[in-house]
Chains A and B, each alone.
Chain A
Amino acid sequence: MAVPSAFLPGRSILHRLDPRAKLILLVAVAACFFLPGPRWIAPAYTVFLALLVGLCLGFRELGMVLAAVVPVLAVICVLTPVFRRGGDTLVALFDVRLLTTDGLAEVLRLVSRFTGLTLAFYAVFRTLDMNEMVISLRWFGLPYRAALVLTIAFRFIPTLFGVYQSSREAHLLRMSQGRRRGFFGRTMPVLTSVVIHAVRQIPSLAMALEIRGFGRLSPRTSFRSLPSGRRLVAALALTGGLCALLIAPFVLAL
């Protein structure tokens, strides 16, 4: 069974960036989209992130992620002007103001914020191996057991997605005759099969963990570790510099 995975192997700048730096920068970028500042910042950052994703992961990947957010963006574009009617009228139908300057600005702000955040998270999760993420979270102080739960979750989410696909195919072939079923009629049997599969996995997973020593009271060692010493200092210095660059436009605008 082919199982999808969030991580896309590669050797781009994003791939080579220290995982801790990536997580810190992700938080910083996310914060920037919510800070008060000039209107051009959010669209500019979004364009920059789009270019980064395109250059590091490929423009096909960029197209895929943008296509995925289009429905949400469409809803924002349709509904936001209805609730923001201040400023000059740009489009009107008879006496009804359909689009105003305030409405347009709000649409741009929300579209930029949503697209930018999506691209930022996408860039990090596509270039960060989940083991590295867990080690990084442990470096930030996350307890081992919580980190292990995260690893297992990241291992099983794609697996369950694969089970969902196989179950959907099995049910499609089985129920291809007779009347056409609605969304719930098609989805519920598949979800039930996936839930049964997931529940069956729980005791097996507990057994698998325990026979590999999970639960022992003696201290564990770690097979994988993150760079330390000079490389860590360099990574932190780079992170600090990039964070300063991110925040600089907001400071200058004050």
Chain B
Amino acid sequence: MTASPLSIHGLTFSYPALQGRSPHAVLDGISFRLPAACRGVILGAADQGKTTLARILAGLVPRFTGGMLQGSMTVAGRDPRETRPFDSVQTIGVVFQDADEQIFTTRCDTEVAFAMESLGIPLAAMQQRVAESLALVGLSDFTSRNPATLSGGEKKRLLIACLAAVDPDLWILDEVFQELDHTWRTALLELLVTKSKPALFFDSRWTPLYATGFSDLSVLSACRLAAVSRGGAAPDMELLCREGICLPDSAGSGRPLDGAWEPLLRVDGLSYQFPGKGSFSLNVGSLELRSGEVCALVGRNGSGKSTLGKALCGLLVPQAGTISLRAGREFRRASPAELNRSVGYMFQNPDYQIFLPTVFEELALGLRAAGIAQDVIRGRVEEAQRLFHLPPGDMPPALMSYGARKRLQAATYNLLGRRLLILDEIDSGLSYREFMSLISALVSSGSGLLLITHDAALARAIAHRVIVIDEGRIVRDSPAELFASSPGMPGESR
């Protein structure tokens, strides 16, 4: 019998205590075994310890973070605690959840070659492997490109090319599907199957691809690992839905109730072109957004979703056309400053706007700036903490989990009472349940939502209306019930 590439038994881990708080337990007695030449997936909502487990297996945690790790594990024939990660380049390969944390050179080809340089591989062999690996992920024309200028999906493909070039014995892939479209997800799986390469995926969402080609599926929740399927058997979908990792069957199941929506914002003949000859341009003939309505804006990478979103909140000033806001019964052309005050824009990364030492300070900041009385502020902050399931007011945001920081970001905008909120791919890294809960809390205040997402299934499930944008133009605007993902639409999840 071939040895298992990955075997862990009774693994328990907690991060060190910070600022007088108790140690943060992440894993409790986890056991798992990946059969040879098989692929496994560990699903779990945000903050359940998936990234921590992935990094433990790669020998990075607790080496770089501190913490208490107990239990036994064998990864590619070794205990990661006993070898330095730089000595495991050929045995364990990792793709991080956030590609920007992992890419550090200024050219795609040197990024792919870096690990081979460390291994002392001769130049001719390196050149061949770099060319082959970049071709494998469709980045042959990007050899001299600065990786910082690539889209999220392209960065993930570049990191896959880095692994393919070294071809380690075990691939550990943390949320690698999140920014890859269906074509590249399938291509990655085919590559692993062709090579009979053992791989362990970590993901916060279920995708039908996990039902085929994966021998083991487990769910990580409340520090424990529960099996969803073993040996390629049909997965326990009920368990996945209970954990909020899987969308319920019916489209629109997560959608807030329809209401009497008032038109809120109108766009007429909007045109914006980035500087430079032949650069991307946005051209939107007409668009209307309404209060209380959830609109999804979907499209491929680079189709103009974020550009449109930034124009709607006044961060980009269009060269032509008008954006009007409702004032009483009429619509009035809005200046960028008026749009800043009326339309909120939630960035994918919550840390762009979080900077104060406590949750209370973060929530109260905008209210204080608006001149609201202290006792009113206290009441509204407490209400927001309840609505968005936030930790106590004295909690430092820097110590909060990623999901909690996203809820804090949403709560700050909710308190500001913006009439329209644009959510730029904030679903990334959150389970379906977490995201739907966030949407419900935001909609409860009556704001209109424009949800920018790659996930067509999520758009169908949660939005009242779906707008499809392609090459800077709106090509479809229809009720969510009539929306079926077009061929090649990225992120088709179910």
Contact = CB atoms under 8 A, between A and B. Distances in A.
A52 to B, nearest CB: 22
Given A170-B353, A223-B126, A218 B60 contact: no
Contacts of B413: 174
B437 interface: no
A166 B352 CA distance: 7
Interface in A193-217: 193, 196-197, 200-201, 203-216
Contact of B366 (A156, A167, A177, A222): A177
B313 A173 contact: yes
Nearest to A195: B355
Interface residues of A, number: 60
B115 A173 contact: no
A209 B413 CA distance: 37
Nearest to A176: B340
B118 A214 contact: yes
A163 B55 CA distance: 25
B202 interface: no
Contacts, number: 183
A219 B122 CA distance: 11
B431 to A, nearest CB: 23
Interface in A120-156: 129-131, 151-152, 154-156
A3 interface: yes
Contacts of B366: 174-175, 177
Chain B's interface size range is 35 or more
A203 B15 CA distance: 15
Contacts of A221: 116-117, 120-123, 126
Contacts of A5: 106, 146, 148-149
Given A163-B352, A177-B369, A223 B113 contact: yes
Contacts of A170: 345, 347, 352-353
A59 interface: no
A216 B103 CA distance: 19
A34 to B, nearest CB: 32
B93 to A, nearest CB: 8
Nearest to A135: B110
A213 B148 contact: no
Contact of B86 (A163, A177, A214, A225): A214
B58 interface: yes
A84 interface: no
A173 B86 contact: no
B119 to A, nearest CB: 6
A158 B337 contact: no
B107 A220 contact: no
A212 B162 contact: yes
A211 B86 contact: yes
A146 B42 CA distance: 39
A3 B144 CA distance: 16
In the complex, which of the residues A159, A196, A212, A224 has the most CB atoms of chain B within 10 Å of its own CB atom?
A212
Contact of A215 (B84, B106, B349, B369): B84
A3 B162 contact: no
A171 B345 CA distance: 10
Contact of B107 (A129, A169, A193, A211): A129
A171 B412 CA distance: 11
Interface in B435-491: none
A7 interface: yes
B114 interface: yes
A208 B102 contact: yes
A213 B89 contact: yes
A167 B86 CA distance: 34
A221 B125 CA distance: 11
Interface string B343-358: 1110101011111000
B330 interface: no
Nearest to B98: A204
B78 interface: no
Interface in B90-143: 92-94, 96, 98, 100-107, 109-110, 113-123, 126-127, 130
Contacts of A177: 341, 366, 369-370, 416
Contacts of B119: 213, 216, 218
Contact of A155 (B105, B113, B340): B105
Given A172-B315, A220-B118, A223-B114, 5 more contacts: A5-B146, A159-B100, A162-B148, A213-B118, A221-B117
Interface of B: 55, 58, 60, 64-65, 84-89, 92-94, 96, 98, 100-107, 109-110, 113-123, 126-127, 130, 144, 146, 148-149, 162, 310, 313, 315, 337, 340-341, 343-345, 347, 349, 351-355, 365-366, 368-371, 398, 412-413, 416
6 contacts: A9-B144, A166-B349, A173-B345, A212-B89, A215-B84, A221-B126
9 tightest A-B contacts by CB? A213-B118, A223-B113, A178-B369, A204-B101, A170-B353, A192-B355, A176-B340, A3-B148, A212-B115
